[in-house]
Chain A
Amino acid sequence: MPERNEDIPDHNDPLRNIQPTDSDHLDYVGQQGLAVEQETLIEPDPVKREQARSLWGDAWRDLRKRPTFIISALLILLLIVIAIWPGLFTNADPRAANLTQDYLRKPDYTDFFGAGWFGYDGQGRSIYARVLYGARASITVGICVTLAVTVLGGLAGMVSGYFGGWTDSVISRIIDIFFGIPLLLGALVLLNAFSVRTVWSVVIALAFLGWTQLARVMRGSVITVKQSDYVVAGRALGAGTGRLMFRHILPNAVAPVIVVATIALGGYITAEATLSFLGIGLQDPTISWGVDISSAQKVIRQAPFALFFPAAALSVTVLAFIMLGDAVRDALDPKLR
């Protein structure tokens, strides 16, 4: 790359064309220590020269070095593969029940990846197969609720923070009202309204009650960014609301929202399991860890393993997402370390 400030004089270069218009004035300025010196251009390390370094680029470089991120990302990847193709890991049918042979049969720990590896539940069904097939409901709920609340809450927070005034007052009061509703009580009332409860009814209920947290984070973030000079500069250029919001404010305000959303994802998975456990979330024949934990609870004295495996799967999943969220937060905001 040619370095224009260091090569031969260029008559187009204003730095080399400094012509005082008024010698008296130049002298005056010179007295004040304003002698012209060549500005040294900061030339980045030649090896990294063309690497565009941005916040996300820095965060990614930082993340790749974190063991918590690597472990949680691998775990989540595995869980997603299991959720999409549970048949890859087992031949057993999670709905096949043989009560006479397999009622609460103890796990056979030598039977790796076999139907009896984790034992059988109170209906004589393979717990291993059910743990694998149950991942789909949990992961779907977790990801879909997170996407829904990020979009909904993000939009509400953005509008509220950007426009301020009475728009902000109205949206903030609505957020306050939703904040006052206990999640489980609200979900109980909402889910009772559905005659058939599927994964999607749980997603709708949790998203409906959960968007406020993201909206608050987004609102605060937008208010901070809105006041920065580059947004004022955009306005001075004549940029419209849409451009200011999506080109200038959103990219600079979204980091804390992503962090909170990633951490909250684990919470939504727990909430689904809790609702299913209480009997107001998913129901048989839908396979979900929450449903299995609920049915295992009745036979806990005879067969603790029937409770242990779905509960362990749930805990590991939630832990993986929370660890990922923590790692992302640390990478995006080094001040929090």
Chain B
Amino acid sequence: MAEPILEVRDLVKHYPLTQGILFKKQVGAVKAVDGISFTLHKGETLGIVGESGCGKSTLAKVLMNLERATAGQVLYKGEDISRLSGAALKAVRRNIQMVFQDPYTSLNPRMTVGDIIGEPFEIHPEVAPKGDRRKAVQDLLDVVGLNPEYINRYPHQFSGGQRQRIGIARGLALKPEVIICDEPVSALDVSVQAQVINLLEKLQQDFELSYMFIAHDLSIVRHISDRVGVMYLGKMVEIGTDLEIYDHATHPYTQALLSAVPVPDPSDREKRERIILSGDIPSPANPPSGCRFRTRCWKAQERCSTELPLLAVPELLAGGAKHESACHFAAERETAAAA
């Protein structure tokens, strides 16, 4: 496997809940991200899935240093970047860029496309000399499949898919090594989603990019990812290659999540077994003790409420699963594999 480019170790992000007007006192914390570790290798795509509110976007923000991590480390090529500020942080930003979810709000409506894509060069003048910038911007437009003559247009003159291409061009401008995609296609039409995904795949090949791809659409994540991590309530519950996760899931939450993927073939649909989880996702301000999923898990036993399951290759499955799963009773589901 390729060298690791981004290593996340026990990353924690808590948002304090305070009480009082003048003298604020902390009464608790929303545990948006609560101890997550994973590694992103060079040239690979790591998909992160999970339902709304599980901390996917917070994870992206912390990795981008848009939010300060409460604890833990983010190592970029072995250097901890989670505590950087000033010039050092600015230098790291050249290598890690982001593509945003909503192409309608992530482009400044008062700037032309040329100004939006050219802005990275103004912030980091060493990347492109002043005279070459217009050319560089036009090249980027060409790379993402837009007409270079659109350089003087405003964002509202483009469709959603085109706007997302502009957002991708802006992310590419600094020639980063890692691009964090925070639900880059969930605001787009289904037909346009495929184009943007294909563009991202092409760019990955051309520029040797590593992607962290956050989404809640399981099909898209499976399509684009080499490895997939499943998050629940601020924790990573299972991580492995796409095949391991999609066909050999061992964590009950992953199995429930996968059983919710729509099956287009009506005859297949009748055969499969849906796992319906009861109850709501608990509040991240007051998560359950032990395993966070136990309140909705059909396998839950006494042990789950007292002992926190660690993300590790399950010992129970001798010779079976090889990927990490955070469950005391990790096991593949017999019927799940049939589909």
Contact = CB atoms under 8 A, between A and B. Distances in A.
Contacts of B264: 31-33
A314 B111 CA distance: 41
Contacts of A235: 66
Interface in A222-268: 228-230, 232-240, 243, 247-248, 251-252
Contacts of B110: 54-55, 251-252
B108 A42 contact: no
Contacts of A5: 145
A243 B123 contact: yes
B108 A252 contact: yes
B159 A42 contact: yes
A35 B193 CA distance: 10
Given A44-B157, A252-B108, A1 B90 contact: no
Interface in B94-138: 94, 97-98, 100-102, 105-112, 119-120, 122-124
Interface stretch (B27-35, B69-77, B197-205): B197-205
A17 B202 contact: yes
Contact of B64 (A33, A35, A236): A236
B233 interface: no
B109 A55 contact: yes
Contacts, number: 145
Contact of B123 (A39, A55, A239): A239
Interface stretch (A18-26, A74-82, A99-107, A207-215): A18-26
Nearest to A254: B110
Nearest to A18: B198
Interface residues of A, number: 50
Interface stretch (B219-227, B250-258, B274-282, B305-313): B219-227
A4 B138 CA distance: 14
A336 interface: no
Contact of A36 (B154, B170, B194): B194
Contacts of A88: none
Interface in A16-57: 17-19, 21, 25-26, 28-29, 31-37, 39-42, 44, 52-55
B243 to A, nearest CB: 9
A2 interface: yes
**Which of A229, A233, A252: most chain B Cβ within 10 A?**
A233
Contacts of B144: 14
Contact of A238 (B93, B143, B147): B93
B119 A28 contact: no
Contacts of B107: 230, 233
A181 interface: no
Interface residues of B, number: 62
B303 interface: no
Contacts of B157: 42, 44, 53
A12 B141 CA distance: 12
B302 interface: no
A235 to B, nearest CB: 6
A237 B120 contact: yes
Interface in B174-210: 174, 190-195, 197-199, 201-203
A15 interface: yes
A36 B161 CA distance: 13
A14 B169 CA distance: 13
Contacts of B109: 54-55, 230, 252
Interface string B233-263: 0000000001000000000000000000010
A39 B162 contact: yes
A12 B142 contact: yes
A141 to B, nearest CB: 32
Nearest to A12: B142
Contact of A29 (B101, B152, B192, B194): B194
Given A18-B198, A54-B154, A26 B119 contact: no
A251 B202 CA distance: 36
A284 interface: no
Interface string B156-173: 111101100001001000
Nearest to A25: B223
A39 B159 contact: yes
A7 to B, nearest CB: 11
A3 B162 CA distance: 14
Contacts of A14: 143-145, 198-199, 202-203
B147 A1 contact: yes
B145 A28 contact: no
Contacts of B66: 232, 235-236
Given A33-B190, A243-B123, 20 more contacts: A4-B147, A15-B198, A17-B202, A21-B201, A29-B197, A29-B219, A31-B265, A32-B190, A36-B195, A36-B198, A39-B191, A42-B162, A52-B152, A52-B154, A229-B100, A232-B100, A237-B119, A237-B174, A238-B94, A238-B123
Interface of B: 64, 66, 89-90, 93-94, 97-98, 100-102, 105-112, 119-120, 122-124, 142-145, 147, 149, 152-154, 156-159, 161-162, 167, 170, 174, 190-195, 197-199, 201-203, 219-220, 222-223, 242, 262, 264-265
5 contacts: A25-B223, A34-B194, A36-B194, A40-B159, A238-B93
Interface of A: 1-5, 12-15, 17-19, 21, 25-26, 28-29, 31-37, 39-42, 44, 52-55, 228-230, 232-240, 243, 247-248, 251-252
- Please give me the 7 A-B residue pairs with the lowest Cβ-Cβ distance, nearest first: A229-B106, A238-B93, A238-B90, A37-B191, A251-B110, A230-B108, A229-B105
